[in-house]
Amino acid sequence: MSAATPNPRIHKVALLGFGSVGSSVARVLCDSHPAALELTHVCNRNVARKQAAAASGCLPSSIRWTEDFEEVLASDADIVVEVIGGLAPAEDWVRRSLAGGKSVVTANKQLIARRGDVLIPLAHELGRHLLFGAAVAGGIPVISGLQQGLAGDELFKIHGILNGTCNFILSHIEQGASFAESLAEAQRLGYAEHDPTDDVDGYDAAAKLAILARVGLRSAVKFDEIACRSIRPIQAFDFEYAREMGCTIRQISRAERLGDALLAGVQPALVPLSSPLAQLEGGQNMVMATGRYGGDTVFAGHGAGGNPTAVAILSDVLAIVANPVPAVPGAPPVLRPANANFTSRYAIRLIVDDQPGIIVEVASILARHGISIDAILQKPGFSKAELPFMITLEPCAHSLMETALAEINKLSFVTQPALSLPLLEV
């Protein structure tokens, strides 16, 4: 055997993108100056303006600022850090960087969730790294935790709170505000974008869940195969009913093996107050991985922000420095999503124009579908014309419950579509 030889070579890093995350990467890299790394290129549109803005910082004058990706590609940079976001031109630039013999570190969740099935094998074929620890849950080392730290387990379930914006909005509704007020507050504070669709309707979390399911559950799930349900219908009184059940409501991303298939979905769910998932603050993220041998393991921390994301990127860069040749890839992912047909306890929230016989009619429909009622909760103090109440069910399949719900929604006294919330057992 041969002893490990210290490698004094400097690894040259090129940065594609100099927005919030890119400038954090540059600053942390230059602040903490790891001995083995040198930032040699920054590539961005309007690069003169970016460079001028950065000049007040500590970035060394040796950095080559350019608007031309071809210059990066032709350079001797070893590692390309892609923080442009989106698919174009990021996908093309990542492919060409890999083909040009460079390893790539990316924070781009859309790129990995949508094109990972092609790009990851491509990197393996070319003998280069394609690392994406920053694409999920920012600074929380969950990708390396699933890939290396829990490599010895057989994971079968992943639950997470992967979108800090939804966590903020739901916490705000919990304190009595409406959805619209809470969204406006999140936008005012810069937590939510002008068009909040990606966050509140679950697509942002679904992209992250697709990546976690690939890494942790060896699933080939495609981004758009993950069912998403919006948090928009959640109202303050839903939290009052949740508390009656010892729960709160959170946007939960979950994926679970079921034989050779994968169940995966993003939706608002009832979370027991005793669960770590119920205790997460504001913009933080949490991932809980469940294994056959090791049980539940929890990872939590800052899910977004320039500096935490920069930490995740630099950790990936340092992993490449430590092991320049990628490990032999494991078997390719195989699990495909069947659907989001989780069997759970569910709570159904109905809003009705109160009149005699409501419970009988609703209970009859549920009974006809073989669904057993666990309890009926009704709190005082609401208008009889818009009366909310909650029915909790014994465990049943999501599809069965939805079929019954479609019938219930047609009842004349139902004034708003019923809302169904799974009750997590974590």
Which residues make up the interface to its own copies (CB under 8 A)?
Answer: 1-7, 24, 28, 32, 35, 101, 124-128, 133, 139-145, 148-154, 276, 279, 291-302, 307-308, 310-319, 322-323, 325-329, 331
Nearer to its own copies, 9 or 369 (CB): 9
Contact 162, 253 (CB under 8 A): yes
Q: Which is nearer to its own copies, 141 or 395 (CB)?
A: 141
Residue type, 327: A
Residue 303 C-beta: closest distance to its own copies, Å:
11
Considering the complex, state which of residue 81 and residue 255 has its C-beta at the smaller distance from its own copies.
81
3-state secondary structure of 123: helix
> Residue 342 corresponds to which tokens in the numbers above?
């989780």
CB atoms within 10 A of CB 281: 10
Q: Name the minimum Å distance from CB 120 to its own copies.
A: 13
Instruction: Report yes or no: 351 and 386 within 8 Å, Cβ to Cβ.
Output: yes
The alpha helices in 222-286, defined as continuous H runs, are 236-244
Shorter beta-carbon distance to its own copies: residue 276 or 395: 276
The Cα 35–Cα 66 span in angstroms is 25
Q: Which lies closer to its own copies via its Cβ, residue 221 or residue 277?
A: 277
User: 380: closest CA among 360, 354, 358?
Assistant: 354
Q: What whole-number distance in Å separates Cα of residue 267 and Cα of residue 296?
A: 21
- Residue 222 phi/psi, 5-degree rounding, is -95, 145
Catalytic residue among 12, 208, 222, 410, which? Answer: 208
Tell the smallest beta-carbon distance from residue 26 to its own copies (Å): 13
Q: How far is the CB of 419 from its own copies (least distance, A)?
A: 28
Whole-angstrom Cα distance, residue 311 to residue 318?
10
Smallest gap from Cβ 119 to its own copies, in A, equals: 16
In sequence order, the 6+-apart residues with CB closer than 8 A to the CB of 53 are 23
CB 91, min distance to its own copies, A: 22
User: Is 208 a residue of the active site?
Assistant: yes
What is the closest distance, in whole angstroms, from the C-beta atom of residue 261 to its own copies in the complex?
20
Least CB distance to its own copies at residue 290 (A):
10
Q: How far is CA 259 from CA 156, 254, 288, 338, in A?
A: 10, 16, 20, 10
CA separation for the pair 135, 149 (Å, rounded)? 18
- The continuous run of DSSP H or E covering 132 comes out as none
171 versus 392: smaller Cβ distance to its own copies: 171
Cα–chain center distance at 20: 19
Distance from chain centroid for Cα 275: 19
Q: Which amino acid is at 324?
A: P
Q: Which helix (H) or strand (E) holds 223?
A: none
DSSP per-residue letters across 51-109: HHHHTTTT--TTPEEES-HHHHHHS--SEEEE---SSTTHHHHHHHHHHTT-EEEE--H
Question: Residue 180 or residue 328: which is nearer to its own copies going by CB?
Answer: 328
Residue with tokens 């009149």: 355
User: Any idea which residue has 């990467």 for tokens?
Assistant: 25
Question: Catalytic positions, please?
Answer: 208
